Amino acid sequence: MAEKKEQRSLLKELPVLLLVAVVLAVVVKTFLVQPFYIPSASMEQTLHGCPGCTADRILVTKPPYWFSDPQPGDVVVFEGPAAWPSETQADEPTNWLSRAALFVGRAVGVARPSDRDFVKRVVAVGGQTVQCCDDQGRVTVDGRPLDEPYLYQDDQRAFGPVTLEAGQLWVMGDHRSDSADSRDHGPIGVDDVIGKASVIVWPLSRFGWIDSPDIQDTTASGPVDPGTAVLLAPVLLAVRRRR
C-alpha cells in the first residue's frame, strides 16, 4: 500500500520536475551557454561541418559579450540579418510533437540549428576599414595586413575598401573559398551576435578551446577569457573524465 502511494506521488511530481528542468535549460541557453551544431564547411579546419564528416558540436558562451563587444579574431555565432541567405536548408516540422523534439535537440546541440544561425570569425569592427587584398594577397584592416594562421583554402577575392559604422562587424569564414560571408552580404550588427564560440565538445577526439588569435596584433585578445574558463570548467572536467 505504501509503495503504491509512493508511485502515485512520483507520477504527480514528474510533470513538475520535467517543467523545472525545461525552464532551467531555457534560462541557461538564453543567458549563459548554448550548444551549437556546425552546419557547413565554411569554418574548416577550425570547425568541422563538411559533407561526410562528423560535424562539431560546440558551446557558445554569452557572458563574454555582456560588457564588451566581439573583438577581431573571435569566432561568433549570430542570427543572420535579412540580407543573408541560408547556408543550409533546414526544413521545419509542421506537427507539434516534431517541433518539440527539434527544440529539445537544438537545446542540447544534437540537432541542426535554425537556418538563420551562422558561425564566422570577426575580422574587423566598427570604425575600421577592411579590404582585400595587399600585394601578398592578404586582407587588410586600416591598411595593415592581418595575421591569419587559421586560413584553409584561401580565396583572394578582391573587395572594399569598406568602412564599418559603430556597432557593425565584418565577419568571414576560415574556409574562404567555401564561405558566403560579409564579402557577399555585408556587415552584421553587434546585436545580431548570439555568443562566442568557446569550446568544441564533440567528437571527443576534437575536444578543446576555440582560439581567438590577435589577428590585428593589438595584444587585446587571447585564447580564452577568464570568465568563460570559469563558466565552462564543470563541463570541461566532465569531458576530460570521460576521455
Residue 66 has pLDDT above 50, yes or no: yes
- Please report which confidence band the pLDDT of residue 15 belongs to, taking 50, 70 and 90 as the band edges: confident
Please give the residue that has the higher pLDDT: either 57 or 114: 57
Please answer whether residues 129 and 142 qualify as being in contact, where contact means their C-beta atoms are separated by less than 8 angstroms: yes
Over residues 19-31, the mean pLDDT reads 69
pLDDT of residue 113: 61
201 lies in some domain? yes
Please state the three-class secondary structure of the chain as a single string: CHHHHHHHHHHHHHHHHHHHHHHHHHHHHHHCEEEEECCCCCCCCCCCCCCCCCCCEEEEECHHHCCCCCCCCCEEEEECCCCCCCCCCCCCCCCHHHHHHHHHHHHCCCCCCCCCEEEEEEEEECCCEEEECCCCCCEEECCEECCCCCCCCCCCCCEEEEECCCCEEEEECCCHHHCCCHHHHCCEEHHHEEEEEEEEEECHHHCEECCCCCCCCCCCCCCCCHHHHHHHHHHHHHHHHHC
9 lies in some domain? no
pLDDT of residue 10: 62
Please give the residue that has the higher pLDDT: either 104 or 42: 42
Of 18-27, 93-102, 109-118, 217-226, give the lowest mean pLDDT range: 217-226
Q: Based on the structure, what is the number of domains in the chain?
A: 1
Please give the residue that has the higher pLDDT: either 216 or 53: 216
- Domain region containing 52: 34-242
10 lies in some domain? no
3 lies in some domain? no
pLDDT of residue 62: 93
Q: What is the mean pLDDT of the chain?
A: 82
Annotated catalytic residues are 42, 120
143 lies in some domain? yes
CATH number at residue 160: 2.10.109.10
185 lies in some domain? yes
pLDDT digits (tens, 9 = 90+) for 166-211: 999 999 999 999 999 999 999 999 999 999 999 999 999 999 999 9
Over residues 120-146, the mean pLDDT reads 96
pTM of the model: 0.78
pLDDT digits (tens, 9 = 90+) for 76-131: 999 998 888 877 665 666 677 777 776 666 665 555 666 789 999 999 999 999 99
Residue 68 has pLDDT above 70, yes or no: yes
100 lies in some domain? yes
pLDDT of residue 217: 84
39 lies in some domain? yes
